[in-house]
Amino acid sequence: MVTTFAAEHGVSPYLRFSRSDWARLRNGAQLPLTTYELDRMVSLNDTVSLDDVADIYMPLLRLLQLYYEASQQLYQVTNVFLGSPSQGRVPYVIGIAGSVAVGKSSTARILQALLARQHPELAVDLITTDGFLYPNRILQERGIMHRKGFPESYDRRMLIEFMANVKSGLPYLEVPLYSHLTYDIMPMLTQVIDCPDILIVEGLNVLQRGGRPARTPQVFVSDFFDFSIYVDADERHLQQWYIERFIRLRETAFRNPSSYFRRYAELSEEEAIATARRIWREINYVNLKQNIEPTRERADLILEKGERHMLEQVYLRKL
């Protein structure tokens, strides 16, 4: 729910849509995905149905297509003004924010697939800001292993430099990769971002501001966004989804000998629930309240989920 000062006083910078009102904005477009394809994009313990794609993602896709086209027209207009195509095209950047376990990565993967499917001529890339976390070695040196996901656990300078380079149209940029399995940055492995038409940047920190001394120039990741989305859910649901996912990981990924959490594979279900609840309460919940939720009203669009990941409402910022 949008709870800005403005909302509390009866005005809001957002238009609110019920699921059915939003679904109507699809305007009859065909569904370009099958259930099989969709299931492969959805994260463990997240639930996205073809109805969600039809009701929520297809109207969103239509909106993004219109905004993207408008940005291309603006680019042409600028060239007319300059009298020559003196500036190269730069990627259109979409940010996706939200809590741990809300389903950001599924949202990002589905949008990427839908955009690419509708526009085979466009290159649509996706990165996660997990790659900009400091390696565990540095987090340990600084005594902040328990602060993973908090602002200070990211190399914010590297992230801002990357965003500035993307939006300057630089080719062949390398992004470090993070492994949830080893719980660390992967040595020697990077993802190459080579001036795509559209870049989706997903991470819990993408709408955050601050962290620099007051008198240095303030530049934020979101300064480089053309459009931003916050995936929202009540904290009770988030805690439940985090715990459910932890229990499922205990039966799957934690059993992998390379898993950082392999010691948790031996826990009884009761112990696993208690452990997940503690990690949620001491780390991810604190981060949600202090650093993630306060950024929600910076988003252009808020997707609100209810029980069982059901997408219930959409808020679109009035332009």
Ligand X SMILES: Nc1ncnc2c1ncn2[C@@H]1O[C@H](COP(=O)(O)OP(=O)(O)OP(=O)(O)O)[C@@H](O)[C@H]1O
Ligand Y SMILES: CC(C)(CO)[C@@H](O)C(=O)NCCC(=O)O
Using CB under 6 A as the binding rule, the residues of this chain from 284 to 313 that contact ligand Y are 284
Per CB under 6 A, the segment of 30-38, 102-110, 192-200, 273-281 that binds ligand X is 102-110
Using CB under 6 A as the binding rule, the residues of this chain from 161 to 220 that contact ligand Y are 204
Q: Do 177 and 189 form a contact (C-beta atoms < 8 A)?
A: yes
Does the annotation list 43 as a binding residue? no
d(C-alpha 72, C-alpha 90), whole Å: 10
Token digits of residue 133: 């976390």
Per CB under 6 A, the segment of 5-13, 34-42, 77-85, 279-287 that binds ligand Y is 279-287
Taking the complex as a whole, how short is the minimal distance between the CB of residue 134 and ligand Y, in angstroms? 11
Nearer to ligand X, 243 or 249 (CB): 249
Q: Do 112 and 199 form a contact (C-beta atoms < 8 A)?
A: no
Per CB under 6 A, the segment of 1-9, 45-53, 278-286, 295-303 that binds ligand Y is 278-286
CA-closest candidate to residue 172, choices 192, 199, 196: 192
Indicate which of ligand X, ligand Y, none lies near residue 284 (CB less than 5 to 8 Å, by partner kind): ligand Y
Does the annotation list 102 as a binding residue? yes
Token digits of residue 115: 């955009």
User: How many residues appear in the chain?
Assistant: 319
Indicate which of ligand Y, ligand X, none lies near residue 104 (CB less than 5 to 8 Å, by partner kind): ligand X
DSSP, residue by residue, 231-270 = EEE-HHHHHHHHHHHHHHHHHTGGGSTT-TTGGGGGS-HH
Question: Binding mask 97-116 vs ligand Y (x if CB under 6 A, - otherwise)?
Answer: ---x----------------
Taking the complex as a whole, how short is the minimal distance between the CB of residue 49 and ligand X, in angstroms? 17
List of residues 6+ apart from 129 with CB closer than 8 A? 154, 159, 201, 202, 203, 204, 205, 206, 221
Indicate which of ligand Y, ligand X, none lies near residue 43 (CB less than 5 to 8 Å, by partner kind): ligand X
CA dihedral sign of residues 22, 25, 27, 29: negative
Nearer to ligand X, 130 or 297 (CB): 130
> Is there binding between residue 206 and ligand X (CB under 6 A)?
no
Nearer to ligand Y, 123 or 283 (CB): 283
Using CB under 6 A as the binding rule, the residues of this chain from 238 to 297 that contact ligand X are 245, 249, 253, 261
> Is there binding between residue 279 and ligand Y (CB under 6 A)?
yes
Indicate which of ligand X, ligand Y, none lies near residue 310 (CB less than 5 to 8 Å, by partner kind): none
Using CB under 6 A as the binding rule, the residues of this chain from 27 to 66 that contact ligand X are 43-44
Nearer to ligand Y, 2 or 204 (CB): 204
List of residues 6+ apart from 76 with CB closer than 8 A? none
DSSP, residue by residue, 98-164 = E-TTS-HHHHHHHHHHHHHHH-TTS-EEEEEGGGGBPPHHHHHHTT-GGGTTSGGGB-HHHHHHHHH
> Is there binding between residue 100 and ligand X (CB under 6 A)?
yes
d(C-alpha 232, C-alpha 235), whole Å: 9
Backbone dihedral region for residue 210 (phi beyond 0: left; psi -120 to 50: alpha; all else: beta): left
Nearer to ligand X, 117 or 245 (CB): 245
> Is there binding between residue 209 and ligand X (CB under 6 A)?
no
Binding site for ligand Y (CB under 6 A): 100, 130, 148-149, 204, 279, 283-284
Binding site for ligand X (CB under 6 A): 43-44, 98, 100-105, 130, 180-181, 204, 245, 249, 253, 261
